[in-house]
Amino acid sequence: MKIVSITNLKGGSAKSTTAFNLAGALVEQGYKVLAIDLDPQQTLSLSYLGVGAAPVPLSKVLMEDGFIDNTILRTKYQNLFAIPADHNLKMIKDGQVQIEGGELRLRSSLTKKPSEKRVTIRDFFDWVLIDCPPSLDRLTMNALVAADMVLIPVDPGAGGRTALADTIKYVSAAQKWYNPTLKIIGMLINNINRQTIYDQTTEQAVRKIYKNQVFKTVVPSSVRIRESAEMQTPAVFCSGPEFKRYATVYRQVCDEFLVRTGAMYGT
């Protein structure tokens, strides 16, 4: 099992959309995926995956250093499971509760094994994707400490480039103090229209700075991608010719993701 934190300081950089569509593409390829919504806004779990409250809230598990098993819910897609966010995560995010070893709680919960169980989360899932809030706080640090790798969705505009630099610094802090084996998979450019000079220029600026760290595949700006989220259906599972192009894009993202993570060899 590999754990991937989908992280960026900037809101609107398509973190939830990336987690949603990458999870769908991985499931389409036959992987078992657990999507963790760590954002109190609940966009990934409630809005996109249509998953309600868990028997045990994630916030309770993190606060009490408990077992995460009872937070896992099935989605309507076979082999795609979710841990929904809840509003009380805000208390952790805003530092309203004092938790000893607070940055380590998600990692602890993902590695705990109840003595009566033979199968752990690590045994059951191939991939865990963590959708982080649009801030660099204790919740995001929990995701980075728990993760093996980081995927950074990018809005290539000027504000997005500044946020990207700050995000990389935060990842470096996580590597230094908590998780020295954490690796950045790369940056995935989203919401781009290559027919405009501005978007061409901003994409080139990101590629000039970060070079091979930037995914070759880019995700275009499209109402179809927003519609698929509204339908709670990853692009790869959307029917109709109008979605075909975007399903292909996310399959390409998934293939490059698998190559970059070492799960599939490629050039």
| Identity of the residue numbered 109 | S
Other Cβ atoms closer than 10 A to 194: 11
What is the rounded distance in angstroms from the CA atom of residue 51 to the CA atom of residue 6? Answer: 19
* Pairing assessment for the beta strands 127-131 and 80-83 based on DSSP bridges: unpaired
- Chain segment 196-221, per-residue pLDDT in tens: 999 999 999 999 999 999 999 999 99
Supply the pLDDT for residue 118.
58
Instruction: Give the 3-state secondary structure percentages of the chain, helix then strand then coil, rounded to 5.
Output: 45, 15, 40
CA distance 203 to 200: 5
195, pLDDT greater than 60 = yes
Residues 6+ apart with CB under 8 A from 48: 16, 17, 20, 229, 232
pLDDT of residue 266: 45
Q: DSSP letters along 49-71, please?
A: S-----SS-HHHHHHHT--SGGG
Q: Where are the domains of the chain?
A: 2-260
- Give the model confidence (pLDDT) of 67-92 as tens digits: 898 899 999 999 999 999 999 999 98
What predicted TM-score, i.e. pTM, was given to this entire model? 0.95
| Residues 231/235/238/243 CA torsion (nearest 10 deg) | 110
pLDDT band at 224 (very low <50, low <70, confident <90, very high): very high
DSSP-derived 3-state class of residue 82: strand
User: What average pLDDT does range 170-188 have in this prediction?
Assistant: 97
In contact, 35 and 50? CB cutoff 8 Å: no
At the topology level, CATH places domain 2-260 in Rossmann fold (3.40.50)
